[in-house]
Structure formats: C-alpha cells, structure tokens
Amino acid sequence: MLNSSVFGPFNPLEPENIRGIFAANIYAAPIEIDAPVATVWEIMTDFDRYPEWNPLNRFFKLDSKAEPNHTVTFGPSWGPYDRGEGDPFADPDMTAHETITIFEENCCLAYADIRSYLKAERVQYISQLQNGKTRYHTYERTAGLISPIVRRKFGAKIIAGFTANGIALKKRAEARTVRD
C-alpha cells in the first residue's frame, strides 16, 4: 500500500479512484525496463536532466523539497506524439504547479493538481521483478466536476504522453545499465 498525502492509502497495482464526483483513472500500459529499480529511480528523480530525455516535460523543478506536501513546477510538452487525434491543448507553453503527494525512494513519485473542480494525481510506481528488471506503472487518478471533460478531450493525449515518457525512461535506464 502507498499513502497519498492528499488522497490517502491505495494499492498502486490496483489503484482505487480518488474521492469525488466523476472519479476515474487514466492508465498507460506498464513497461518492463531491463535495469535495476535504483537506476530507474535515480533517472526519475533527476529533475534537472528531464529536458535531455523526457518528452513529456520541457522542465521539472522542485519548488523546495522532494517531499509530500511540497510543490513542483513543470512544463508539460505535448510533442511529436501529439499530432494525432483529439483537441490540442490551449497553451503549448503552459506551466503547471502541483503538490507532491508521494515521494517514496525506489518506489513511487506522485504529484497532484488539487482544485475544487478538478483533482488529478499523476502516479509513477516502480517495482523490482524477480529477474532483476523493473516494472514501471504510470497513471492519473482524477475526480471533479470537469474530470469527464478532461478525460474525454485529453485522455488519449495523456496516455500518449505517459507512454512516451515510459519508453524514454526505459531507453535511458537501459543505456545507463549497459555503460555501468
């Protein structure tokens, strides 16, 4: 079980919906990474290097500490993988300010947008497999008045972004493992 500082405990492999109206989750397929958990975690939390490899974020900065209830500022990027179906995001240069809800070393990073009309928690969970590889899970837990609109208009883009992020994380971690 993990404990979100905002939404409470949940099973990361079978995440419950967060409380609120119109609650539902948006899942990207899990990715198997041929690298140890510690390597994957190090890359996931080296925020200054995100622009080098992470297609989902133009930048990602801690506003203070990497701890629950502290904030982050980041610039989502809906790059080349976003040329498909669905509506474009209103502002390609948008900046998000969210609250870290979980920071559990070698396990989980989660942060959330917490508003009266939309609650959305992005979860990135990693686990060591018996063969020494790492399984990467990422999803968004959503609730609130406009959450059905967000899921309908942007759900495919969110999944594409999460998938692109996971594939890039896999490539970077596996390349680092080969070098080490």
For residue range 120-143, list pLDDT tens digits in order: 999 999 999 999 999 999 999 999
**Does 16 score more than 70 pLDDT?**
yes
- The stretch 93-111 carries a mean pLDDT of 96
Alpha carbon distance 141, 92 (integer Å): 23
Per-residue confidence (pLDDT) for residue 177, from 0 to 100: 83
Residue 58 lies in a domain: yes
Chain-wide mean pLDDT for the chain?
92
15, part of any domain: no
180 pLDDT band, cuts 50/70/90, is: low
Q: 151: domain range?
A: 24-179
Task: Tell me what pLDDT residue 179 has.
Answer: 66
Residue 151 has pLDDT above 90, yes or no: yes
The answer to the question of residue 30 being in a domain is yes
Closest CA to 18 of 33, 29, 3: 3
Query: Cβ contacts of residue 45 below 8 Å, gap of 6+?
Result: 66, 109
Is residue 12 included in any domain, yes or no?
no
Residue 117 domain-assigned (yes or no) = yes
pLDDT value of position 83 = 46
pLDDT tier at 173, thresholds 50, 70, 90: very high
pLDDT-derived band at 80 (thresholds 50, 70, 90) equals low
Residues 25-44 pLDDT 10s: 999 999 999 999 999 999 99
Per-residue 3-state assignment (H helix, E strand, C coil) for 2-20: EEECCCEEECCCCCCCCCC
Number of domains forming the structure of the chain:
1
Q: What is the CATH number of the domain that holds 35?
A: 3.30.530.20
**Residue 143 domain-assigned?**
yes
Q: Is residue 103 part of a domain?
A: yes
Classify residue 7: in a domain, yes or no: no
pLDDT surpassing 90 at residue 147: yes
